[in-house]
Amino acid sequence: PPRLVEAKNQAESLIHSTNKSLSEHGDKVDASTVEAIELAIGALEESLKSEDPGKIRSGIQNVMDA
């Protein structure tokens, strides 16, 4: 389904860019913020396994809000 593919692509891109930003700038961010972002990324990675576009989009939003 196109919506699933689109959601997965968006999620994978966000995971990659967020991890890159953390590795480059994580030392400039509060440790609790880094932990919240890492937890949100982990949850998003789990939601990718669900094949549910709604869960994936929710996970994307959680990473962006962290």
Predicted pLDDT at 1: 83
- Mean pLDDT (whole number) for 11-21: 98
Q: pLDDT grade, residue 37 (50/70/90)? A: very high
Q: What is the mean pLDDT of residues 29-58?
A: 96
pLDDT for the residue 11: 98
* End-to-end Cα distance, the chain: 28
| pLDDT band of 55, cuts 50, 70, 90 | very high
The pTM of the full predicted model, rounded to 2 decimals, is 0.91
Question: What is the CATH code for 2-65?
Answer: 1.20.1270.10
* Eight-class DSSP state of 52: -
Cα-based distances in Å from 51 to 5, 7, 39, 44, 48: 9, 9, 20, 12, 6
Q: Give CA–CA dist 63/61, Å, rounded.
A: 5
Query: Side chain identity at 62, as an amino acid letter?
Result: N
